[in-house]
Structure 1
């Protein structure tokens, strides 16, 4: 991943964008610290589709959320219970 100082990314944005589309994600630094990453839209959509909702998002959602919170039951058999 190529790293661009923010002033270079701003001054040469077309080149910055083209590098992202050809080479992949590009890192932007601000005062030497990593600040942001520019990624191609296809990769962004894949990342968004694979992301799980956070607990906060689930609790604030107005849609039914039991499907994502309830684990799938296994197919194991229960052991027999002896009468007392």
Structure 2
């Protein structure tokens, strides 16, 4: 059973690389989409919080002093199968 799961996962990865994103269904419903790492990074982009900073800077209450800390990044966890 484990060998079959590994083989099928390898095939899924090959299809993602050759055909693009692959939908995984459970009981006939889409549950997840598997995409290539490059595509994930492209979609995620660099999350800097710039939009939030711009909204806060455009406030009608400039007398309120807000200290903005430098951004921190939470890396994506690698999973070994």
| Off by >4 Å, runs of 4+ in structure 1 | 50-53
For structure 2, the residue ranges without an aligned partner over 5 or more in a row are 59-81
Partner of 2:11: 15
**What are the within-5 Å matches in structure 2 for residues 3-82 of structure 1?**
10=5, 12-49=8-45, 65=53, 68-69=54-55, 70=57
Q: Which has the larger radius of gyration?
A: 1
Higher RCO (C-alpha under 8 Å, 6+ residues apart): 1
- CA RMSD, 1 decimal: 2.7
1:14 Cα deviation after fit: 0.7
The residue matched to 2:41 in structure 1 has which SS?
A: helix
If the length of structure 2 is used for normalisation, what is the TM-score? 0.51
Partner of 1:80: none
Partner of 2:69: none
